[in-house]
Structure 1
Amino acid sequence: MAGEFQSREERRKKLQQSKGKKQAKKKPSGIVKKIFLSLVVLGIIGILAGVGTFAFLVKDTPKLDPKLLKDPISSKVLDKDGELISEVGSENREYVNYKDIPKQVENAVLAVEDARFYKHHGLDPIRLAGAVVANFREGFGSEGASTITQQVIKNSFLTPEKTLKRKVQEAWMAYQLEQKYTKHQILEMYINKVFVSENSHGLATAAKVYYNKSLNELTLPEAAQIAGMPQSPNNYNPFDHPDLAEKRRNIVLTLMEQHGYISKEDMDAAKSVPVTASLVKEEERERDEKPYDAFVDAVIDEVEKQGDFDIFSDGLTIHTTLDRNAQLHVNTILNTDEVIKYPDAEFQAGVALIDTKTGEIRAIGGGRNQEVKRGFNYAIDTKRQPGSTIKPVLDYGPAIEYLNWGTYQTIDDKPIKYSTGQEFGNWNDKYMGPISMRTAIQLSKNTTAVQALQQVGLERAKEFAINLGIPLKEIFESYAIGGFRVGVSPLQMAGAFSAFGNNGMYTQPYAVKKIELRDGTVLDTAPETKPVMKDSTAFMITDMLKSVMVSPGTGTTAKVPGLPIAGKTGTTNYTTEDMKKWNIKSDKVVPDAWIAGYTTNYTAAVWTGYSSIKTPIQAGADQKIAQLIFKNLMEYVSKDIKTADFPVPDSVQKVRIEKGSMPPALASEFTPDSEVITEYAVKGHAPKSVSVKYNKIDAPGNPQAIYDPGKNVVTLTWDYNNPGNAQAQFEITVTDGVAPKTDIISEKVVTLQNPTPGAKYSITIVAIINEKRSDPATTAVDIPLPQQEEEGEGNGNGTSNGDGDGGIVPGIPTPGDGTGTGNDNGTGNGNGNGGRGNP
């Protein structure tokens, strides 16, 4: 019983313990309820806050205006004075109704822009997630996140700023649009509204512009090409960027196959067709008659870079930097025979004119005889090797900036080697030996430029050039003379050179000062001005480039009389392989001719050549056309305004340098003026040493000239203290009162044979050692007349004025106070009374 009792007792205790545990477990249930209720409350608060926030963000959402839905609003482009020069966006548009949109075109648009268009109500969370995946799978840009409905709203009503407010408003209006219009109407709006480059809107217009077809005539690859353009119209323009356009078209075809619109066979067949196969030929494209289109090209490019803007449909007011008079004159220079006599119609030129101080673009010369809208712009789009024009930017500018070279810096113009060991020399195999940096730039010597780059170092030179807007991704020593793998444009060169004329301050050239949105918001788009070099560097480059424009400089054709102007010319050359490949016979022809230069007001850069590098600029006058364009343009824009000279900054000083000294040395007081150049040094970095090349040496001592009447000679002797036994020579100058005679000898004794009786000889002796000259030592000697004692009578013709009757020296008059006649025997019977004459 006891065991049973114990067991029951134990069971009772265990049961009680179990109940206690259950009760203990029930206690936390109150906390859970509290947490749950708190979350519910927070959820309600969050919903209310979200609703409130949503209501606040959409309270000033624009109303759905049917006119804005159908027609994009063109943008106004104003010149620097606020005058309208162009309306961009309303020039070229063909409208198409939904019933006339081919199913193939619709499928292409849906595949790339919004495959679930008919399944959502304006917003598509599934599309948003799918776009993220597609961008990882197919590459960035393969599929966007916005629905077609959202794109219609964005392009019709809202500013392009990427903010939460705009996205919320876009979503709200997209929902409203779906409630008010059918899917077919919305798709019709989209297809007619999108920008397709070439100043054109709508896919029907694109079909005409690129293929000269209506939409229902397009092939599958053509339909895919125009359907893919709206994401980045200018980049996917098949005229300008066929490679990018083809890649984009193939993405559209892939998406069409993925979404079941076409078969794999159709996709592969369409992808095999080159995107250029059926494009409108260049000669058939629409001609461009607008005088400001080259400049508007720059405006369009800049607006696109400023953000998510569509200049062709956003109704922007764009304030630009254009000087319309300068632009019209550039057009006259390029497209008429009034200024330049061009060799043929195919000869091309690109011109960029900017304000030196602000970087504002004043005019753009996009090319000659441009026949299409938004054609290739040779001032902006061209990428050609700059040749010697790059030397101030890549070689000599960095040498002054980093090595504190002065304009006098002596560089040995001689054959050299690249760091690779390859030999390099001047194109004509002619060399001048040690010359100053100024002379090297003035004559555009190549070996000196390479040596400057080598001493600066490639990386520092590259950094210097990049800060001036030259987009170098790599650099080699051959770049010192402009042999770039990827070239530069005239606009980039103008920007770089303007910094030299603006005391080392650089502003990236720009055409757009500010953009005014439809809602009144004004965006200041002017880039920031920044220091990129010391003012000493800028000034010394400028002063040397002024020398380029005067004889014997390479830029004399571009000089404008009376205008303080600096510049650098450049040409490129064909390699031996190029000449062989393209059957070029002459080594005097070039593919490119450049000039870039500036005043304190304007900077201009001009490139000339042909669209194909295979066609050379002929030797002679044609290679000077770039300089003639530059000269005429700078002369035109500088008339009737004051152009100040470039100020000398406090950071530089003038120095007298002995020509050819290497390393550079100050001229001494003995250096001949003909051997002295006056140049500029960075203050605190002028040469410290003074040349001793022309210092005076000891003059000869104890000069004596002794006449020996017996031998009838004069012997000249002197002493000379010659320290170090240096090789000395002596310059002897003898003057007898009639004409000096000079000779250089090595001995210290001279004999003058048969001196003239009665003459006085003055003698100067100058010592010369290693081109150094001493002060002169001088002496003199009188040569006596011979004496005669006899008297006699004669019938000669001689006369004398002596103390006696006549002269005693045969044939030579002597003084006397009587007059008489004498014969060769020395006696006379004159009018005076006898007496011996005194010689």
Structure 2
Amino acid sequence: MMADGQTRTSRRKQKKASKKPLWKKIIFITLITLVAIGIGVGSLFTYYIVTAPEIDASKLDTPFSSKFYDMDGEMFADLGTKQRSKVEYDDLPDVLIDAVTATEDARFFEHPGIDIWRIGGAVVANITNGFGSEGASTITQQVVEKSFLSPEKKVSLKVQEMWLALQLEQDYSKKRILEMYLNKIFYGNRAYGVKKAAELYFGKTDLDELTLPEAAILAGLPQRPSAYNPFKNPELMKERMDTVLQLMVKHGKISEEEAKEARQVKIASLLTDDKPDSSSYQAFLQQVEREVKQKVDGADIYTDGLKIYTTIDTDAQTHVDFLLSKKEDNPINYADPVVDPDSEEGEKLDMQAGVTVLDTKTGAIRAIGGARDGLENRGYNRAIQMQRQPGSTFKPIMDYGPAIENMQWSTYHQLNDDGPYDIAGTDKQIETWANTYFGWVSARYALEQSLNVPAVKTFDEVGRENAKAFAEKLGISFGDSDIALTDAIGGNIGTNPLEVAGAFRTFANGGIYNEPYAVTKVEFPESGKTVNLKPEPEAVIADSTAYMITDMLKDVVTQGTGTGANIPGLPLAGKTGTTTRPGVDGSPDAWFSGYSTNYTISIWTGYDNNDIGLKGSETKVPLSLFKHIMSELSKDQETPDFTKPDSVVEVAVEKGSRPAKLPSDYTPDSKIVTELFVKGTEPSKTSERFEQLDPVKDLEATFDSDSATIQVEWDYETEQDISFEVSARVGDGQKQKLSSTEETAMEISNVEPGTKYDIEVVAINDKTKANKSEPATATVKVPEDLEDDEEIEDEEDDEDEDKKGNIPAVGSLRARQTGASIDVSWQYNGPPAQYEVVVSRDGTQIKTQTVATKGIVIEGDGVQSGGSYTITVIPIGQNGASKGDEGEAKSTKVTISDSDETVSNDGNDDDDNSDDE
């Protein structure tokens, strides 16, 4: 019985245990999890600490210099070894110590190397805003990070930083650590350490002479030494100084009255007059710094002892620097300095320039020119920082490139340059720069001559979003700006030579783009880590688009607006650009961007104040710069021409056809142009404009014995404006043009007895002058048994004594321009005569000729466009009593124009009756 009871009791206990509450299980599991996490985190942190580098005393005092290598792997710069002076703690005045600690680490003299309170605040901020959003580094930690660790934002590095900071505080005093910090920090303008900074900015070598405002400036600079550069950005530095003063008041270092007094000081009054000297390669090194900062988290090229491999061509950089210098042997004719209208002191501004040189094949930056006469360290770099309107350099990017890419336009595509273009919703217009409008032109001609109206029409047809998307593929940044109609001609968003060079290089490189780059790789010598920075290329537009734009831009250089950049024998493409600004006399911006298969160069010139304009030849300076740079870079190396891809075909088309048509067999050579088409879009229809005319019909030539003349007659039926060219071969002589006439008959007088005349008549279209018929021919022989002159004279005297000496004037006198010649014809009804033709130009007699035919063609050097010609015809009797007698002179006038159109004048007693035909 007892056994049974024990068994039941045991079972009850087991049942009770199995019914333990769920919350107890959750707590139990959570505790186990937390313990496991704690063990894991502790193990991980222990690993981080164990693998932390040892404290090396030799690395504590001096920042590592970064070394820079050129495109051939040769070192060309060593930053960090210059502009440094060491200071000891005893040399530091209290005002500087207070300013630095209040700004960087208020509890520096109390904490053991890490500040728990700051860490707590940073943890909250990092949880809220993401890791790395707020730092908690003490001065000690900053010394450790700059001496032993990579600047990357990683948990492992932060743990090692705190661990080493605790160790450092065990080995060194607070004074020694602050001394290390102030000797290590970079203050901008190549100054390392607070002592060199005080000398560079304030001209003070004794730190005890520092005032409160100066100490506040030095304490504030290290956060952003370039942005707070007091020489360049005094207003921004003033704001930073005020922040430092507020912190000093907050932490009890100074009173509010002292801070208020310090704020009254002008930054400029504190600075030395000796600004930092410009340094070779500074413009290029600015781009290096930008790329390293953007792509290598936390890296500092001035303090981290990096090995940085760059793309610079030092020879190219040296030549660019020379052309931007103020040396007397510089061949570039820059504009003279002008007074800045915004300066109360009448400060003068130099004409400035920004230059970027790229390797066309890779996009590697070979040289950068950021300013005239060199660039101060971290100064304003116009090649990479500037944002100025690009003018017409944007036309390939915003207009014609997108049109070819999206709509497969040909280089022949016809556009009407027909007058000012109204900007919708405004009372403004886009006008031409050329003071004239050209009517229907090809896209090639419109780009070659930089015509505004065709560009805007192209932009409108492409569509704004398509144009923007195309430009962005080429690296153009619009930021927050809305795209506008004026972007079609580069009159809205701002850009710089680096960005434009990258875009133009895409055309030069067959549609393949990668961001222009100055750095190929960065090495961290201490860790052995290497970061590759070379961007990957990508095909962003069709190779057909790239080649067709390039081919059009080649014409810009050889016969368009960019001829000043042309280098004979070197295949080049490029585009000019100038801007206008209301109220500004001249162009605030002048650009030229161009390329060969080896190099792409973009150049901007102007004044930093864009209310000052360049005038006349001053706008040609970018072309001159381009020519000198490209000539220097291209000498002693082969520069092949651009290669046409299979996606593009060359097609001969008839000029003036809309849409493009193939020339017919009768299209004159002067009316045929060769243009480029995207393969598969070339024209297939043949023009009918220059079709061959039907020949004349029923041509007859007969000899009239009564008048001793040859009478030529023919028939022709057509609704077109047709004239007839009559020629003759006399005997075995050469064929000679006799006359042109609108009549279907002609008389040939003064014929030779016993001679055969081969008559030829050709129909000609009066409008085109190229549509001709096959010649119709007829032959007639003049009899040999003509009566001699005396018999004829006697016969005439007998028949009509009253006609003695009676020579009438010619009738129907007409002079017509036919191309570059004047075609004169007339009628005559009287005794046999020859005709004296007198030609005068603008009142001066230039030619006299006697002919036997009733017409003459005047051509040669005497016929000039724009001239006004008077043609006078005098009949002179040949036989009988009329021999030698002169009839009344008749005249007509004609003015020669450049047009191919035929203009005729009917003369009547010196009165001019003109007809445009």
Give the match for residue 635 of structure 1.
631
Quick one: which of 215, 220, 225 aligns to 1:228? 220
What do the CA deviations read for 1:695-728 (whole angstroms, capped 9, x no partner)?
Answer: 2233322222344333555443333343xxx333
Give the match for residue 427 of structure 1.
433
Between 144-153 and 221-230, report the one with greater CA deviation. Answer: 221-230
Between 170-179 and 737-746, report the one with greater CA deviation. Answer: 737-746
1:245–1:591 CA distance, 2 compared to 1 (3 A): same
Between 760-769 and 432-441, report the one with greater CA deviation. Answer: 760-769
Establish whether residue 469 from structure 1 lines up as the match of residue 475 from structure 2: yes
In 2: Cα distance, 1:227 partner to 1:516 partner: 31
Q: How does 1:248-263 map to 2 (within 5 A)?
A: 248-262=240-254
**Higher RCO (CA 8 Å, separation ≥ 6 residues):** 1
Quick one: which of 362, 369, 375 aligns to 2:373? 369
Give the match for residue 17 of structure 1.
none
Establish whether residue 189 from structure 1 lines up as the match of residue 180 from structure 2: yes
In 2: Cα distance, 1:27 partner to 1:270 partner: 77
Q: CA deviation at 1:29?
A: 6.0
Give the match for residue 412 of structure 1.
416
Establish whether residue 456 from structure 1 lines up as the match of residue 453 from structure 2: no
Quick one: which of 45, 69, 72 aligns to 1:78? 69
Task: Specify the code of the residue in structure 2 equivalent to 1:291.
Answer: S
Q: CA deviation at 1:313?
A: 1.2
Quick one: which of 644, 669, 691 aligns to 1:695? 691
Secondary structure of residue in 2 paired with 1:628: helix
Quick one: which of 652, 667, 673 aligns to 1:671? 667
| 8 A Cα contact 2:759 2:779, kept in partner | yes
In 2: Cα distance, 1:78 partner to 1:446 partner: 45
Secondary structure of residue in 2 paired with 1:93: coil
1:699–1:736 CA distance, 2 compared to 1 (3 A): closer
Give the match for residue 849 of structure 2.
none
Q: Structure 1 length normalisation: TM-score? A: 0.82
Give the match for residue 310 of structure 1.
300
In 1: Cα distance, 2:14 partner to 2:251 partner: 61
1:538–1:789 CA distance, 2 compared to 1 (3 A): closer
Give the match for residue 523 of structure 1.
531
Task: Specify the code of the residue in structure 1 equivalent to 2:48.
Answer: L
Secondary structure of residue in 1 paired with 2:690: coil
Quick one: which of 546, 549, 558 aligns to 1:541? 549
| 8 A Cα contact 2:324 2:374, kept in partner | no
Establish whether residue 773 from structure 1 lines up as the match of residue 769 from structure 2: no
Q: How does 1:247-396 map to 2 (within 5 A)?
A: 247-262=239-254, 275-276=267-268, 278-281=270-273, 284-288=274-278, 290-306=279-295, 307-335=297-325, 336-343=327-334, 344=336, 346-370=350-374, 372-396=376-400
Q: CA deviation at 1:119?
A: 4.3
Secondary structure of residue in 1 paired with 2:726: strand
**RMSD value, Cα:** 3.6
| 8 A Cα contact 2:370 2:383, kept in partner | yes
In 1: Cα distance, 2:765 partner to 2:30 partner: 107
| 8 A Cα contact 2:355 2:370, kept in partner | yes
Give the match for residue 488 of structure 2.
480
In 1: Cα distance, 2:77 partner to 2:138 partner: 32
Give the match for residue 724 of structure 2.
731
Task: Specify the code of the residue in structure 1 equivalent to 2:223.
Answer: Q
| 8 A Cα contact 2:321 2:373, kept in partner | no
Q: How does 1:83-162 map to 2 (within 5 A)?
A: 83-131=74-122, 144-162=135-153
| 8 A Cα contact 1:443 1:548, kept in partner | yes
1:491–1:711 CA distance, 2 compared to 1 (3 A): same
Between 111-120 and 319-328, report the one with greater CA deviation. Answer: 111-120
Give the match for residue 837 of structure 1.
none
Greater percentage in strand? 2
Secondary structure of residue in 2 paired with 1:201: coil
In 2: Cα distance, 1:371 partner to 1:186 partner: 35
1:262–1:479 CA distance, 2 compared to 1 (3 A): farther
| 8 A Cα contact 1:340 1:629, kept in partner | no
Give the match for residue 809 of structure 1.
none
In 2: Cα distance, 1:656 partner to 1:358 partner: 35
| Structure 1 gap segments, 5+ residues each | 1-20, 580-588, 793-823, 826-839
Establish whether residue 608 from structure 1 lines up as the match of residue 601 from structure 2: no
Give the match for residue 554 of structure 1.
561
1:627–1:314 CA distance, 2 compared to 1 (3 A): same
Q: CA deviation at 1:85?
A: 0.7
Give the match for residue 16 of structure 1.
none
1:293–1:781 CA distance, 2 compared to 1 (3 A): same
In 1: Cα distance, 2:314 partner to 2:421 partner: 50
Q: How does 1:199-238 map to 2 (within 5 A)?
A: 199-213=190-204, 215-238=207-230
Overall identity of the aligned pairs, in %: 42
What do the CA deviations read for 1:167-199 (whole angstroms, capped 9, x no partner)?
Answer: 221121122223333333333332332222212
In 2: Cα distance, 1:779 partner to 1:248 partner: 102
What do the CA deviations read for 1:495-539 (whole angstroms, capped 9, x no partner)?
Answer: 111111111111211111100002111110111211221100111
Between 320-329 and 772-781, report the one with greater CA deviation. Answer: 772-781
| 8 A Cα contact 1:112 1:142, kept in partner | no
In 2: Cα distance, 1:236 partner to 1:663 partner: 60
In 2: Cα distance, 1:462 partner to 1:358 partner: 24
| 8 A Cα contact 1:156 1:313, kept in partner | no
| Structure 2 gap segments, 5+ residues each | 1-11, 338-349, 792-878, 881-917
In 2: Cα distance, 1:506 partner to 1:64 partner: 46
Q: CA deviation at 1:650?
A: 0.5
1:701–1:222 CA distance, 2 compared to 1 (3 A): farther
What do the CA deviations read for 1:467-497 (whole angstroms, capped 9, x no partner)?
Answer: 22222233222222222343x2222222111
What do the CA deviations read for 1:30-51 (whole angstroms, capped 9, x no partner)?
Answer: 8766665555544444333222
Q: How does 1:163-178 map to 2 (within 5 A)?
A: 163-178=154-169
What do the CA deviations read for 1:788-829 (whole angstroms, capped 9, x no partner)?
Answer: 59999xxxxxxxxxxxxxxxxxxxxxxxxxxxxxxx99xxxx
In 1: Cα distance, 2:235 partner to 2:59 partner: 34
| 8 A Cα contact 1:698 1:721, kept in partner | no
Give the match for residue 198 of structure 1.
189
Give the match for residue 591 of structure 1.
588
Q: CA deviation at 1:769?
A: 6.4
In 2: Cα distance, 1:126 partner to 1:644 partner: 66
1:703–1:287 CA distance, 2 compared to 1 (3 A): same
What do the CA deviations read for 1:335-354 (whole angstroms, capped 9, x no partner)?
Answer: 33445143458343322211
Aligned length: 756
1:748–1:353 CA distance, 2 compared to 1 (3 A): same
1:117–1:696 CA distance, 2 compared to 1 (3 A): same
| 8 A Cα contact 2:753 2:786, kept in partner | no
Between 104-113 and 384-393, report the one with greater CA deviation. Answer: 104-113
Task: Specify the code of the residue in structure 2 equivalent to 1:763.
Answer: E
1:591–1:436 CA distance, 2 compared to 1 (3 A): same
In 2: Cα distance, 1:267 partner to 1:699 partner: 104
In 2: Cα distance, 1:770 partner to 1:371 partner: 63
Establish whether residue 56 from structure 1 lines up as the match of residue 47 from structure 2: yes
1:30–1:454 CA distance, 2 compared to 1 (3 A): closer
Give the match for residue 716 of structure 2.
720
| 8 A Cα contact 1:415 1:423, kept in partner | no
1:553–1:377 CA distance, 2 compared to 1 (3 A): same
Secondary structure of residue in 2 paired with 1:629: helix
